[in-house]
Amino acid sequence: MYMEENYINKTYNGKKNTNILFLGTGAADWLNIEHSDTNREPNDKYRHLSSILINNQILVDCGPTTLNSLSKYNIDNNSITDILITHTHEDHLSPDVLAELARLKCKDNPIKLWAHVGAFKRIPKINGLYFCPLKIGRSFHIGDITVKPLAANHVVKETNEKPLHYLFSNEGRQWLYASDGAWLLKSTWTELSKSKLDIIIFDATVGPIDDDPRIFEHNNLTMIRLMLSVFRKCRVIDSKSTILLTHMSRVLYDNCEEIEKNLENIGIISAYDGLNIKF
């Protein structure tokens, strides 16, 4: 389904493989950018809005570009059984996309929609969706994957919802999806400090810029390096851990190739649309 060079392979002998496909890696400022060719190569400069698909089954966020991405990577919409919402900003949640994904689902086999309890005020009732309210720190299961919602350092002004990061675990492996959000909140760090993370996917909206006011809700590269230093010191990650960046701004990355090269030198991967991680 994907070109071989678009894989990152991490081998765990005797364990069931997990796949994470990046459907999009762009921040909100990609929202209204025209893109005429829906079959562009994954390393093209255009980025769809940030979203991942786990095992062709679990969708994390579904913004306005999600259906385009699912089609581009030949994903059967009916394979999606669960949708996790980080928060209800329009680049992460499209009611129209939810309705389309749920359209062919029968009453007895709806898609489970997981979100913070406060988020459902902005999500309309849709046939084929079953609402599953979440509380921070309370784990739940999707098949053999355990998911723990953690508080994100981000704000949705229109609701009383709490934006979320997600800590996943199965087969003795753990990985973190942390987008959107700036510095990790103390409560979230306390939880992660007990973990051993194989993969971290970090918000990197602000890129190399240190004086942009978006650092109060999003990470820049300096913030990410500092957090990773603490993670290593506290043995939350090690040399085998994979660090990826997503949710990158269209206007704050002036020289992407140079930035990506510098990141690779310190063991950080700039994710791109179509990247598939197999571990």
Average confidence (pLDDT) over 190-196: 97
The CA radius of gyration of the chain, in Å to the nearest whole number, is 18
The tens digit of pLDDT for each residue in 200-239 reads 999 999 999 999 999 999 999 999 999 999 999 999 999 9
Count of CB atoms within 10 A of residue 2's CB?
A: 15
Contact 23, 66 (CB under 8 A): yes
Name the nearest CA neighbour of 176 among 141, 148, 137, 153.
Answer: 148
Dihedral sign computed on CA atoms, order 204, 205, 211, 215 = negative
Bridge-partner residues for 142, per DSSP?
Answer: 145
Comparing 83 with 32, the larger pLDDT belongs to: 83
The pLDDT value recorded for residue 46 is: 86
Q: How far is C-alpha 115 from the geometric centre of its chain's CA atoms?
A: 14
Average pLDDT, the chain: 90
For residue 13, what are the contacts with CB-CB under 8 A and spacing of at least 6?
Answer: none
Polymer length in residues for the chain = 279
pLDDT of residue 180 exceeding 90: yes
Dihedral sign computed on CA atoms, order 23, 266, 255, 184 = positive
Pairing outcome for strands 51-54 and 58-60 = antiparallel
The tens digit of pLDDT for each residue in 134-158 reads 999 999 999 999 999 999 999 998 8
Comparing 107 with 50, the larger pLDDT belongs to: 50
3-state DSSP call for residue 188? helix
